Structure 1
Amino acid sequence: MSIPVPVLLTFLALSACQGHTAALLQTSNLLKESIRLLSELLETKVSCDNVNVTNIFAGNMKDSNMETLCKATTVAWESRSCHRHLEGISLNLLSLLRRKSAVHKAPCPVAAGNTTSLNYFLTELRKVLQRLVKD
């Protein structure tokens, strides 16, 4: 059984492009999965919603998206005992960092002092991730 030449050429062309497309798709999937987990977590009322966490969004206009994600990874990991979704979110963000940034390696240091509720942190993180999906 032989494969027609046009089919073989199409297959080879698609194979050559697959690496870049697969990486973009995987990044997009990690972002979308994290947004889904954040949405579920925000809809669920948990006793630690009002727990204070470091406010990485206070004055982060100077932070790059990768730096913000790196800090968010740290805060989510430190808060994972509150809800199981936070561990998944943290691992997704860590995977994104490994793919997108050679500079930022989690855990990133987060400045102590300025705090906010876990609920506010989750809401702001979802906004950042939604903005990244659109970009």
Structure 2
Amino acid sequence: MSILVQVLLTLLALSACLGDVVLPWSHTLRTKMLEETMELLDWLQQKEVSCYKMNVINIFADHKRGNKTEILCKAATIAREGESCHGYFGGIYDNLLSLAWGSRARHKKPCPVAAGSTTSLKNFLKELHHVLQEEYKNQK
């Protein structure tokens, strides 16, 4: 077998694996997404948005039992509910899905959120900000 064929086969094998390889920039990208999402949340919390009193499922009531991916995915589902209220929720939704699923976010749908206790959207944003701050600290 010629060297060219061996090199091509090696490149083909490596390219097939790239979807599962964690690239060095992914940590930086994740950190930037966390920062951006927290900035959006900060901005929203400083404004009086009309739908803050809207009730949403309180996914944080038992978040100690859930994993981070599940919490971020469920938070994305709730953020999507707020898209009609304010455009920033669209960016928060996209970022949360990307934080939950990484580069595969485009192929994932938000997680279903079971009925349970509710909280105001304003309290949800406050708790989400706290969860993202913890995640950000763990990234450093």
TM-score range, shorter chain: 0.7 to 0.9
Match of 1:108 in 2: 111
Q: Secondary structure at the match of 1:61?
A: coil
Match of 2:29 in 1: 26
Unaligned runs of 5+ in 2: 1-21
AA at the equivalent of 2:111: C
Runs of 4+ that moved beyond 6 A: none
Percent of aligned positions that are identical: 46
Match of 1:60 in 2: 63
Q: Secondary structure at the match of 1:62?
A: coil
Deviation at 1:92, TM superposition (A): 0.5
Aligned equivalent of 2:42, options 33, 39, 43? 39
Question: What TM-score, normalized to structure 1?
Answer: 0.79
Deviation at 1:100, TM superposition (A): 7.8
**Pairwise CA RMSD:** 1.8
Pair 106,30 (structure 1): closer, same or farther in 2 beyond 3 Å: same
AA at the equivalent of 2:95: N
Aligned equivalent of 1:70, options 53, 70, 73? 73
Deviation at 1:101, TM superposition (A): 8.2
Deviation at 1:21, TM superposition (A): 3.0
8 Å Cα contact 2:79/2:93 also seen in 1: yes
How do residues 90-109 of structure 1 correspond to structure 2 at under 5 angstroms? 90-99=93-102, 105-109=108-112
Quote the Cα distance in structure 2 between the aligned partners of 1:131 and 1:101. Answer: 23
Q: Secondary structure at the match of 1:45?
A: coil
8 Å Cα contact 1:69/1:93 also seen in 2: yes
Q: Secondary structure at the match of 1:60?
A: coil
Q: Secondary structure at the match of 1:116?
A: strand
Question: What TM-score, normalized to structure 2?
Answer: 0.76
8 Å Cα contact 1:48/1:118 also seen in 2: yes
Quote the Cα distance in structure 1 between the aligned partners of 2:129 and 2:103. Answer: 18
Q: Does 1:123 align with 2:126?
A: yes
Provide the aligned length of Structure 1 versus Structure 2: 115
